Structure 1
Amino acid sequence: MVQENSGTGTADAGGGDSSRPWQTLSSGFEQARAREDSLDRLVEWPAQRSLLGDVTGLAVLDAGCGNGAKIAQLAEDGAAASVGVDISGNFIAPPPGVELVEGDLSDLAAVPGLAGRLFDRILFLQSFGYAADPVRALRTARGMLAEDGFILLTRTQPIRYAIERAEQNGTSLGEEYFATESFTYRHRNWDEGVTLTKRPYTMSDLLNTFSAAGLWIEAAVEPRMPAEAAERYPHKQALLNKYLGILMFKLRPLRGPQPSR
């Protein structure tokens, strides 16, 4: 994930945030996630768990784990080796069997204690956008997969950002969706005092990144809010109706010669 740097982010050439606001934002994210109407609790995490399946006896790595709460839950669900990596270092007290390591997901091979280790599941849960070089980050993760392992990667639907920018700039959806200039925003739900800078991306950007990293999509999911939750939290359903939600990809290594860059 990103770190904190005077509360202002700047996007680097790889499309990640090269600044350091995450130490400030991480606590705000966890507080937002703890709310009963959190979309992470209502939509994202249930869908992520469904894609992960039974983790009993598996080795799991959460790249950009925030405070480590999700990897700790996977340990409770039976994961044999549970490792969380995040650059913020703002972790919960790790329960038995859980390792929480301060490090950069942009270069997992350089994170202390990870060299030579293999994992059955590697997670990039809303963290992949912070990789300095997205293709390199995924290639490194691919090389750390055990036989029959896969990567679970989630990203915000890019149309959401395009809609928000079109509203702010008085432009059209198409103009903003295909824009290439970086944009700045404040995360209203986490910390108004931190400004992030991001590079826009399209669906083709994501698909081409996966291909360049030597991965194929076994499954893609766009989770929706359950009917009961939508009725209970209509304001959240209205948000999803307008801005769409999240994309989830189950990625496996391509066999044979790998693409070079």
Structure 2
Amino acid sequence: MAESHEQTTSSPTDNPVDPSHAWLELAPDYERARTREDSLDRLVEWPAQRDLLGDVAGRSVLDLGCGNGGKLAELVRDGAAASVGVDVSGNFLSVPVPGLELIQGDLNELDAVPGLAGRTFDRILFLQSFGYAKDPVRTLQTARAMLADDVFILLTKTQPIRYAVEQAERNRTSLGEEYFSTARFSYRSGWNEQITLTKRRYTIADLINVFSAAGLCIETAIEPQLSEDARGRYPHKQAWMNKYLGILVFKLRPHPGQ
């Protein structure tokens, strides 16, 4: 379940619908976009995520909002064991991968997802899915309870400044006004312009405070950029990154003693 579509969504007629319903429509469009040669997921996000995950051989991985399960399948091929992907769309890989279990379920109701009760994992992933959490603190607390000892959550979030820049251009306001505004805002999905999405806003401080309230601390935070080679091959992507900054990637661990 990719991010960029947080909290409440609306149809082209601006009638509110459940965020999960929007993802059901958007999931195939997202997977198509992700496989493009110049996809920022391919060029920036996944390489950074994979690097922070480190050696996964023998490690169990839970991917919450896994999309079709393609990234988790790659981790299983790299040696991850007893790994599970959860996504509300159920739009999964058509060819089974040994050692990989894909479950249709909602990350907002992890306690009710079949097959997760009583299990723990060495890595838990929110790869551009955290924005779907209706109660982000509760969702992270539930995920934290499923962590095995001395392991971590990897969470990727769209840079909040990106949306502030877009809204400032659209509304002819200032960057600061939009970044610190608490009002929700709407925009059409870049994957499917027939769907309009309404987002809640986060500042970077909001994210840090949510992590802390969930009993997590930031071990590492990175803002990955295009490689020198990719900048040369895809100057239009570098121009986008120069303007909108890209993503934040956090490695989160439980607070000591919690």
TM-score (norm 1): 0.92
Residues 36, 9 of structure 1: alpha-carbon distance in 2 compared, 3 angstrom cutoff: farther
Residues 178, 6 of structure 1: alpha-carbon distance in 2 compared, 3 angstrom cutoff: closer
**1:37-76 mapped onto 2 (5 Å cutoff):** 37-76=38-77
Q: Which runs of 4+ in 1 moved over 6 A?
A: 2-5
C-alpha distance in structure 2 between counterparts of 1:73 and 1:144, whole Å: 22
> What residue in structure 2 maps to residue 14 of structure 1?
none
> What residue in structure 2 maps to residue 166 of structure 1?
168
The secondary structure found in structure 1 opposite 2:193 is: strand
* 8 A Cα contact 2:10 2:198, kept in partner: no
* 8 A Cα contact 2:27 2:89, kept in partner: yes
| C-alpha displacement of 1:109 | 2.1
| C-alpha displacement of 1:20 | 1.7
Render the CA deviation track for 1:38-80: whole Å, top value 9, x for unaligned: 0000000000000000000010000000111111111111001
Residues 169, 206 of structure 1: alpha-carbon distance in 2 compared, 3 angstrom cutoff: same
C-alpha distance in structure 2 between counterparts of 1:9 and 1:225, whole Å: 38
C-alpha distance in structure 2 between counterparts of 1:254 and 1:108, whole Å: 21
C-alpha distance in structure 1 between counterparts of 2:163 and 2:83, whole Å: 33
* 8 A Cα contact 1:5 1:19, kept in partner: no
Q: Which runs of 5+ in 1 are unaligned?
A: 12-16
> What residue in structure 2 maps to residue 183 of structure 1?
185
| C-alpha displacement of 1:119 | 0.2
C-alpha distance in structure 2 between counterparts of 1:9 and 1:44, whole Å: 32
C-alpha distance in structure 1 between counterparts of 2:19 and 2:119, whole Å: 27
1:105 to 104, 107, 128: 107
| C-alpha displacement of 1:255 | 2.1
* 8 A Cα contact 1:9 1:196, kept in partner: no
Render the CA deviation track for 1:106-130: whole Å, top value 9, x for unaligned: 1222110000000000000000000
The secondary structure found in structure 2 opposite 1:50 is: helix
The secondary structure found in structure 2 opposite 1:248 is: strand
| C-alpha displacement of 1:173 | 0.2
| C-alpha displacement of 1:18 | 4.0
C-alpha distance in structure 1 between counterparts of 2:84 and 2:37, whole Å: 27
> What residue in structure 1 maps to residue 136 of structure 2?
134
Render the CA deviation track for 1:123-166: whole Å, top value 9, x for unaligned: 00000000110000000000000011100000000000000000
* 8 A Cα contact 1:56 1:78, kept in partner: yes
The secondary structure found in structure 2 opposite 1:70 is: helix
Give the aligned residue type for 2:233: R
Give the aligned residue type for 1:206: L
Q: Which runs of 5+ in 2 are unaligned?
A: none
Render the CA deviation track for 1:189-211: whole Å, top value 9, x for unaligned: x1111111111110010000000
